[in-house]
Amino acid sequence: MSSSAAWPPEKPRFQLQVRPAEVRDAAEVARIYLQATQDNLATFENFLATPQERERWVREHSEQYPLLVAELSNRILGWASLSPYHVRPRIDGIAELLIYIDRDYRRHGVGRELMRAIQSLARARGHFKLIGRFLAHNDAGRTLCRMTGWREVGVHQKHTPLEGRWYDVVLVEYLIPQNLK
């Protein structure tokens, strides 16, 4: 008796979905951000972002400055956003990146997928440069940036105090040559 089914059967493959964030994602975005503040890796803010505050923040993102989430089996594993770069005078075409990954899924490819998606959207939206800042001891963040075409611009030494200790902050940039005018 022959069978057309392969043996052993293939394991089901779960696909990470990167999509625009919705208001319903605000609590998970806040949860992941809280992890980042607790772990002292990516952010130098030390306040709690409530789900209500994150709902407002999710609504404020636009086509030009998107907020994406990475989802697997209805669980948010990370998020990335672009925001206007605030300098005087304001320079259109430069956006600041924030990217945060659930601590249980760091170094599993979630950051890489989010980064590729946000870089693609930035290119489509006409941005010519993305910039980012994070704590210098964040080795995973530095590796992610190198793997996705970012370059380290410099390090602010003793830039931010957290829990009574001073931390250095890495500055990174990603150029989008197609959009340089």
State pLDDT tens for residues 50-68: 778 888 888 888 889 999 9
User: How is the chain split into domains, by residue range?
Assistant: 17-179
pLDDT at 78 over 90: yes
In one-letter notation, the amino acid at residue 101 is I
- pLDDT score recorded for residue 48: 60
Give the DSSP letter string of the chain: ---SS-SSPPPP-PPPEEEE--GGGHHHHHHHHHHHHHHTSS----S---HHHHHHHHHH--SSS-EEEEEETTEEEEEEEEEE---SS--TTEEEEEEEE-GGGTTTTHHHHHHHHHHHHHHHTT--EEEEEEETT-HHHHHHHHHTT-EEEEEEEEEEEETTEEEEEEEEEEE-GGG--
Q: Is 25 left (phi over 0), alpha (psi -120 to 50) or beta?
A: alpha
- pLDDT score recorded for residue 46: 58
Q: Which CATH number fits domain 17-179: 3.40.50.1820, 3.40.630.30, 3.40.50.300, 2.30.29.30?
A: 3.40.630.30
The pLDDT of 136-158, averaged and rounded, is: 94
State pLDDT tens for residues 118-133: 999 999 999 999 999 9
Residues above pLDDT 70, as percent of the chain:
87
The pLDDT of 137-148, averaged and rounded, is: 93
- pLDDT score recorded for residue 164: 86
- pLDDT score recorded for residue 18: 96
